[in-house]
Structure 1
Amino acid sequence: MVQRKPRADAAGNRARILQVARELLSSTSELPMNAVAKAAGVGQGTLYRNFPTREALLAEVYRADADQLVASAAPLLEEHDAATAFRRWLSNVVDYARVKRGVLAALEPSSGQELAASHTGSIGEAVDLLLAAGKSEGAIRADVDAHDVLILLGFLSRLDESEAAERAHHILDLILSGLLARK
């Protein structure tokens, strides 16, 4: 069976639903489906046709953010030296961690853990890419691997929202400082 490309209006509706859900997750872990539909300007049928369950919507918000985070590594390396690219990528991690906190708070613990684990590999590959570039330039310590960085980044999702807004960038600066090669 040939898959058809979605109509432009259907693709727009889906994108709006995801954006609204993402924004709502920054203020609540409730994420009522009727509030998402209303804020996105779509009917309940459109919402449920795209996302049959609340969990499906949450999973797609998380997947889209994880994919965006992973995809940002290579372009940053094309535009900047490795240390600057890594710093900017870590800034993207702040947004990702905020969404991750919201999604995981809204899901059952086992579902949230499974969802987070399903993206660890691709995020690790992005970190590997950044580390390799940094090591080849002599900017990143040779004894650091992606697993080290992922463990450190995991603490961001444990901050509550008020604390994260205040401390996340400082924590990321500390992480990057620890990754940089000493000269």
Structure 2
Amino acid sequence: MPEAAPQRADALKNREAILRVAHDVLAETPDASLNSIAKRAGVGAGTLYRHFPTREALILEVHRQGIDRLADAVTDALATLPPLEALRSWFTTLTGYVRIKHGLGEALHSAAAQEVVSASWPPVTEGVRRLLDACEEAGEVRPGIDPVDVIMLMSCLWRTPDSPEGAAQADRLMQLAIDGFRP
């Protein structure tokens, strides 16, 4: 199969604008039309459809980029915060991301979507492992905590209401979990 030609700079700029807008619009209104996304991105519908021929293709790419941003956020958090605060901050970011993802509902339940969603586990698990390793090195958590167990435990965070009360409850739940991680 021949290698795809590199995209022109304006095409890349349009693609990035579409993805940025789609992330925000779909977070607000999961059933937003592709035409409304194109309009807010400042491109024509044809441009959007050239990059993303189906709604599912757009949603899956938004999801993939979200996972990439989550993985990058681990490095940023560890570079700027003490390890335990980095863990807290990252799980708060993950909680917001999962809420958006859940808002997309059926869009992430097709066979193609499941492949993309399944591919998100390794980078998320690796991010949690890096955070736990840093916390362990700092003596803030006991050794040997399984990252997958932590993800499963912390999944309660994205089940809290998306409100000030829910945020307070999520903080309490996170504190309970972290207290259980301590040496």
TM-score bracket, shorter-length normalisation: 0.7 to 0.9
- Output one character per residue of 1:46-83: Cα deviation in whole Å (capped at 9) or x when no partner: 10111111000000111111110011112321222211
Q: Percent identity?
A: 35
Task: Quote the residue 2:132 is aligned against.
Answer: 131
- Output one character per residue of 1:8-30: Cα deviation in whole Å (capped at 9) or x when no partner: 32222111111221112222221
Task: Quote the residue 2:10 is aligned against.
Answer: 9
Task: Quote the residue 1:65 is aligned against.
Answer: 66
The TM-score, its normalising length taken from structure 2, stands at 0.84
Question: Do 1:97 and 1:156's aligned partners in 2 also have CA atoms closer than 8 Å?
Answer: no
- CA distance 1:165–1:97, shift in 2 (3 Å): farther
Task: Quote the residue 2:107 is aligned against.
Answer: 107
Unmatched 5+ stretches in structure 2: none
Q: Does 1:78 align with 2:79?
A: yes
- Output one character per residue of 1:121-170: Cα deviation in whole Å (capped at 9) or x when no partner: 110000000001101111123352211121123334445xxx22331464
Secondary structure of the 1:95 match is helix
Task: Quote the residue 1:164 is aligned against.
Answer: 162
Q: Which aligned pairs between 1:28-107 and structure 2 lie closer than 5 A?
A: 28-103=29-104, 105-107=105-107
Q: Does 1:175 align with 2:174?
A: yes
Higher mean alpha-carbon deviation, 32-41 vs 128-137, is at 32-41
The TM-score, its normalising length taken from structure 1, stands at 0.84
CA RMSD of aligned residues (A): 2.4
Secondary structure of the 2:10 match is helix
The number of equivalent residue pairs is 179
Question: What's the offset of the Cα at 1:33?
Answer: 1.1
CA distance in 2, matches of 1:176, 1:124: 20
CA distance in 2, matches of 1:149, 1:118: 18
Unmatched 5+ stretches in structure 1: none
